[in-house]
């Protein structure tokens, strides 16, 4: 019998690699709190990402840049309390892995030791390879993130598709190989043309997880608020909504508002 709690989940990366080898698609969904994490985990997804997209959907910012390491640790801790079986990745936020490698290692270590996640994700190409090597050496599994890297949105000139020109596509392919060679165990590809995502996936042994990257990646990731129809103003082409929860919530709150104002709630059944 295992002596570890299910949430320790130490075999979750080998499971992702097995899925990649066997050609089974990998699913990843973001979560930021224990309640959503519990529901999403019980739905059977392979992985949960505590994304710095919480800057947008939780904190209401226009970018992920204001998210701090302490914010991430807080949300990772909450998510881990809700998860039994999924692999959980935490984003290293803006400027927590750039000032120096020592800083980056300490910050990634905090996200794992205090946040409790199984791995960290960071955005960027081959210039991060030496850092990823050091993190991997230290026992910190690293998921890469290429294509549209939201922490560089000002440098990229907006939230737009990346890798459209031959030169950009070649650079992205080389970056992907460099991250894999440095020890990254998986790679998010965001907002890249489907044929480029297919080429990257074919060139790598590690799984690629796409968002706005077409159907040929090893898996897919979506932000839970987008997938569930909670983020009403956000309608990029790549997004498919699997529910319209904003409508459901609004209707429920309107019912409550109406019943309280009419004196219909609480009724004897809901009173002591």
Residues within window 159-218 making contact with ligand KIV, judged by CB under 6 A: 188, 190, 211
Q: Which is nearer to ligand KIV, 43 or 251 (CB)?
A: 43
Q: Does 91 bind ligand KIV (CB under 6 A)?
A: yes
How deeply is 175 buried, as exposed, middle or buried, from its count of CB atoms within 10 A (0-12, 13-18, 19+)? buried
Collect contacts of 61-66 with beta carbons under 8 A, ≥24 apart.
63/150, 63/153, 64/91, 64/93, 64/94, 64/150, 64/151, 65/94, 65/151, 65/153
Q: How far is the CB of 57 from ligand KIV (least distance, A)?
A: 8
Q: How many CA atoms lie less than 13 Å away from 257 in the CB half-sphere?
A: 6
Active site residue 190: yes
Identify the residue among 27, 53, 208, 231 touching ligand KIV (CB under 6 A). Answer: 53
Q: How far is the CB of 266 from ligand KIV (least distance, A)?
A: 39
Q: How far is the CB of 121 from ligand KIV (least distance, A)?
A: 7
Question: E strands, the chain, where?
Answer: 26-30, 47-50, 87-91, 119-121, 142-147, 186-190, 208-211, 219-222
Residue 235: count of CB within 10 angstroms of its CB: 9
Q: How far is the CB of 267 from ligand KIV (least distance, A)?
A: 42
Q: Residues in the chain, how many? A: 272
Q: Does 78 bind ligand KIV (CB under 6 A)?
A: no
Could you tell me if 135 and 142 are in contact, meaning their C-beta atoms sit under 8 angstroms apart? Answer: yes
> What token pair was written down for 158?
């907006």
β-strand partners of 23: none
Residues within window 10-29 making contact with ligand KIV, judged by CB under 6 A: none
Could you tell me if 246 and 232 are in contact, meaning their C-beta atoms sit under 8 angstroms apart? Answer: yes
Residues within window 33-52 making contact with ligand KIV, judged by CB under 6 A: 49, 51-52
Q: Which is nearer to ligand KIV, 34 or 265 (CB)?
A: 34
Q: Does 119 bind ligand KIV (CB under 6 A)?
A: no
Q: How far is the CB of 51 from ligand KIV (least distance, A)?
A: 2
The single residue of 114, 123, 133, 190 carrying the catalytic annotation is 190
Q: Is 161 helix (H, G, I), strand (E, B) or coil?
A: coil
Q: Looking at beta carbons, which residue is closest to ligand KIV?
A: 51
Q: Which is nearer to ligand KIV, 13 or 188 (CB)?
A: 188
Q: Which is nearer to ligand KIV, 152 or 170 (CB)?
A: 152
Which is nearest to 44 in space by CA: 63, 25, 61, 66?
25
Q: Which is nearer to ligand KIV, 51 or 193 (CB)?
A: 51
Whole-angstrom distance, CA of residue 56 vs CA of residue 258: 31
Q: How far is the CB of 47 from ligand KIV (least distance, A)?
A: 11
Q: Binding residues for ligand KIV, per CB under 6 A? A: 30, 49, 51-53, 91, 188, 190, 211, 221, 223
Active site residues: 190
């Amino acid at each position: 019998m295992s002596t570890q709690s299910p949430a320790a989940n130490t075999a979750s990366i080998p499971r992702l690699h097995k899925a990649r080898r066997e050609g089974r698609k990998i699913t990843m969904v973001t979560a930021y709190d224990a309640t959503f994490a519990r529901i999403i985990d019980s739905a059977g997804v392979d992985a949960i990402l505590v994304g710095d997209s919480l800057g947008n959907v939780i904190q209401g910012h226009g970018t992920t840049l204001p998210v701090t390491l302490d914010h991430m640790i807080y949300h990772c801790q909450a998510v881990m309390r809700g998860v039994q079986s999924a692999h959980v990745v935490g984003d290293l936020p803006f400027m927590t892995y750039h000032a120096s490698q020592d800083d980056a290692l300490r910050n990634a270590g905090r996200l794992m030791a205090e946040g409790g996640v199984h791995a960290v994700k960071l955005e960027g190409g081959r210039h991060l390879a030496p850092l990823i090597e050091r993190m991997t050496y230290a026992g910190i599994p690293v998921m890469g993130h290429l294509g549209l890297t939201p922490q560089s949105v000002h440098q990229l000139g907006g939230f737009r598709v990346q890798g459209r020109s031959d030169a950009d596509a070649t650079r992205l392919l080389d970056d992907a190989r460099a991250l894999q060679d440095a020890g990254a165990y998986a790679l998010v590809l965001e907002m890249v043309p489907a044929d480029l995502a297919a080429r990257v996936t074919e060139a790598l042994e590690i799984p690629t997880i796409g968002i706005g990257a077409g159907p040929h990646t090893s898996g897919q990731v979506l932000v839970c608020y987008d997938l569930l129809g909670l983020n009403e103003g956000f309608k990029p082409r790549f997004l498919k909504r699997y529910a319209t929860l904003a409508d459901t919530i609004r209707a429920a709150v309107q019912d409550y508002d109406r019943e309280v104002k009419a004196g219909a709630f609480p009724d004897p059944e809901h009173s002591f």
